[in-house]
Structure 1
C-alpha cells in the first residue's frame, strides 16, 4: 500500500498501536488507553514512549516530541513528509489486524516472516550501503539479502543474523528485527572483545580497520537490553572495549559496565561529537578514521 493513495485524515486515523506492531514493536505495559514502549526512535531501558490509543497519538518523553503517525514516520524513517507518503507504505503496509490485546491475546498474528536469504545483490541495498560507506566485500561477508513478509506483503532488506537465528533488518525506509531477538557474537578465541550496539557500527569498524589483519572477538548487542546477558561471554576476555552510542542510554550503560570490572574500557571518546561509530565513520575524514586502527590512539 502506498500512503499517497489515501487522504491525510485517513492516514492519521490508522491505528498506531497496530502500526507499531507491524514494525515489530510491542508495548511493555498497558495502562487503560496508554500503551508504553521502549522508544522505537532511540535506545532506552525504561519505557518512556507512549501511545494513547483513544486519541491515537504518541509522545516520547525522552525526546519531548509527539504527534500523529505522520510525525512518527518521518522521524522513524528519517525522511521528508513527501518521502513518507511515497515510500513509507512500501516498507510496511497498513496493518490488517489489531495489535495484541492486554494479556498478550491477539486476533491474528502479524509477524515478520523470513522466507528467503541470499547474497546481497539488490541495487537499492547496494546503494544504501555505499551511502553509509560500507564496502560490499565487508557487507557480503557479514550480511545477507533477505526477503520477508508482513501481513502477506513481501519486502526485502539487509539482514544481520543473531546467535539464535533471527535477523536485524535494515533498508532505507525500514528498521526492525525478526524473532528470535538476540545478540550476535563472533569469536576467534582472542583475549580482547569489542562490543557494539548495532551492526552498522560493527560494519563501520570493520571498514575502518579493513587493511589490518587483527584478530578480535566481537559482540554486537542488537539492543542494549542484552548487555547483562552477554556479561559471561564478555568477561571471559582480558579486555572488553565498549563502542556504544553516545546518547543517554549508551553512556549510562557504559558507565554501569565500568563499575562491573576494570576489564571494561569506554572507547566512545574516539567518536566524540557524533551519535555513534557509524555516524562518525560516514562523516569524518580518513585521518580521523585511523583512530580505530590497531595501535593508534586518538
Structure 2
C-alpha cells in the first residue's frame, strides 16, 4: 500500500479500528472525544465527505497522517505511516519467501547428551549466580 492509498483510508475507519467511537453524528460530520488527550466534550470533528479532521481543543487538523502524528506525538512521517499500518485499517503486503530446493547438510556432528558435570561450565554458572544444585537437574 502506497502513501496515496493510505491517505484514502477513511479516518472514521482508522479510529474505529482502534476502538474509538463517535459521540455524535450530524450528517457526514462525526464528533469524537480526542483520544490523545483528556476531555469531556467532543471537540474532534471528522468530516467523512472530505476525509479530514479538526480538533478544536488544540486548533489542529489535517489528514490521516496528521492524526497519526497526534497519537504518537511525532512529526516523523515514517513513524506515522507505521502507526497507521499497525492500526489494522490497511493490509500489509505479503512477502513471499523464495522456495529453496537445495538441501542443507547437517552442521553438527558427533553430538551427545549427558548430565552437566564439566567444572568450567559449573564455574561459569556459579559466576552468573546459578547454584550447581539448581543447574544439574535442569541442564544437560
The corresponding residue for 1:34 is 29
The corresponding residue for 2:78 is 82
Instruction: Provide, for residues 191-242 of structure 1, a one-character-per-residue CA deviation record: whole Å limited to 9, x for no partner.
Output: xxxxxxxxxxxxxxxxxxxxxxxxxxxxxxxxxxxxxxxxxxxxxxxxxxxx
The corresponding residue for 1:70 is 65
Alpha-carbon distance between aligned partners in 1 of 2:4 and 2:66, rounded to the nearest angstrom: 13
The corresponding residue for 1:50 is 45
Alpha-carbon distance between aligned partners in 2 of 1:14 and 1:88, rounded to the nearest angstrom: 9
Instruction: Provide, for residues 241-294 of structure 1, a one-character-per-residue CA deviation record: whole Å limited to 9, x for no partner.
Output: xxxxxxxxxxxxxxxxxxxxxxxxxxxxxxxxxxxxxxxxxxxxxxxxxxxxxx
Instruction: Provide, for residues 12-62 of structure 1, a one-character-per-residue CA deviation record: whole Å limited to 9, x for no partner.
Output: 110111110111110001001100011112110011101000000000001
Aligned residue runs from structure 1 range 150-189, under 5 A: none
Alpha-carbon distance between aligned partners in 2 of 1:34 and 1:66, rounded to the nearest angstrom: 14
Bigger RCO of structures 1 and 2 (CA < 8 A, at least 6 apart):
2
Shift of 1:66: 0.2
The corresponding residue for 2:114 is none
Alpha-carbon distance between aligned partners in 2 of 1:30 and 1:94, rounded to the nearest angstrom: 21
Gap runs ≥5 in structure 2: 92-140
User: CA 1:94–1:71 in structure 2 vs 1: closer, same or farther (change >3 Å)?
Assistant: same
Query: Going by fraction, where is strand more abundant, 1 or 2?
Result: 1
The corresponding residue for 2:19 is 24
TM-align CA RMSD: 1.6
Gap runs ≥5 in structure 1: 1-5, 97-298
- Is contact 1:52-1:58 (8 Å) kept? yes
**Structure index of larger Rg:** 2
SS across alignment from 1:93? coil
Alpha-carbon distance between aligned partners in 1 of 2:78 and 2:4, rounded to the nearest angstrom: 15
TM-score (norm 1): 0.29
TM-score (norm 2): 0.60
Alpha-carbon distance between aligned partners in 1 of 2:43 and 2:62, rounded to the nearest angstrom: 15
SS across alignment from 1:10? helix
- Is contact 1:48-1:62 (8 Å) kept? yes
Shift of 1:67: 0.2
